[in-house]
Amino acid sequence: MKRIAVLVSGGGTNLQALIDAQARGEIQNGTIAAVISSSPGAYALERAGKAGIPGYVVNRKDYDSNREMTLALLKQLRELDIDLIVLAGFMYVLTEELVHAYRNAIINVHPALIPSFCGEGFYGLHVHEKALAYGVKVSGATVHFVSEECDGGPVILQKAVEVREDDTPKLLQRRIMEEAEWQLLPRAVSLFCQDRLKVEGRIVRILPE
């Protein structure tokens, strides 16, 4: 049974999708062992508590740099014997020490179809604002492994979502969450925990059961 840590910074809607999927038995051979927040006031910690999942805080404000925070986080993860890290609305860029320690074992969900609308500065509502300004007819979500390059790791799963004429950034954000993010993330986590993801360079192959 693989031990999963979910890293959060805010409300934890993607965390809730994982908690709900776990309750339905959809995450095979894995369990959410910890929720770690970059802020002590994150509502995600309340979600974890209600689900009986231990919550921890590695407060960004306690450290002078992202590197110092990353090293503290790495220490916490090792103490918890974590196998898989899931970034679920985690708002800080982690430095290479964590990527090196957990190569192809850190999963992130991005609210666009990578390589579109991704990279430095593309997070939260900014992604959807840019998509609408560009006039795309389709957007979506991508679940990928985390590498040293921002949003540049191997793609695990993607799902397209229609962009509607009357969409606002918030409407599009919500629909992509409901129709793509909340479906893809638990599936990717379960595939990892079943050892069904094989990384070959930049390609991720999904192995049969």
Position 190 scores a pLDDT of 98
Is residue 72 within 8 Å of 63, Cβ to Cβ?
yes
Position 195 scores a pLDDT of 98
Is the same domain home to 84 and 151? no
Give the integer Cα–Cα distance in Å for 155 and 145. Answer: 7
Whole-prediction pTM: 0.95
What is the DSSP secondary-structure string of 32-98?
Answer: EEEEEESSTT-HHHHHHHHTT--EEE--GGGSSSHHHHHHHHHHHHHHTT-SEEEESS--SPPPHHH
Position 121 scores a pLDDT of 81
Is the same domain home to 115 and 57? no
Position 93 scores a pLDDT of 83
Structure tokens at 77: 């993860």
Is the same domain home to 163 and 196? yes
Is the same domain home to 78 and 135? no
Burial (CB count within 10 angstroms: exposed 0-12, middle 13-18, buried 19+), residue 205: exposed
> Which amino acid type is present at position 66?
N
Position 199 scores a pLDDT of 97
For the question of residue 110 being annotated catalytic, the response is yes
Tell me if residue 117 falls in helix, strand or coil: coil
Report the domain count for the chain. 2
102, 124, 147 — which closes off a domain?
102
Is the same domain home to 24 and 76? yes
Is the same domain home to 173 and 201? yes
Is residue 94 within 8 Å of 151, Cβ to Cβ?
no
Structure letter (DSSP) for residue 204: E
80, 102, 124 — which closes off a domain?
102
Position 110 scores a pLDDT of 94
Is the same domain home to 113 and 196? yes
Is the same domain home to 32 and 79? yes
Domain that includes residue 92, residue range: 1-102
Question: 44 to each of 9, 35, 177, how far by Cα in Å?
Answer: 7, 8, 16
Is the same domain home to 98 and 112? no
Residues present in the chain in total: 209
Question: Residue 144 sits in a domain of what CATH number?
Answer: 3.40.50.170
Is the same domain home to 53 and 126? no
User: pLDDT in tens for each of the 209 residues of the chain?
Assistant: 999 999 999 999 999 999 999 999 999 999 999 999 999 999 999 999 999 999 999 999 999 999 999 999 999 999 999 999 999 989 888 899 999 999 999 999 999 999 999 988 888 889 999 999 999 999 999 999 999 988 899 999 999 999 999 999 999 999 999 999 999 999 999 999 999 999 999 999 999 99
Is the same domain home to 138 and 74? no
Is residue 102 within 8 Å of 3, Cβ to Cβ?
no
Is the same domain home to 94 and 153? no
Name the active-site residue from 100, 110, 128, 144.
110
Give the integer Cα–Cα distance in Å for 71 and 1. Answer: 26
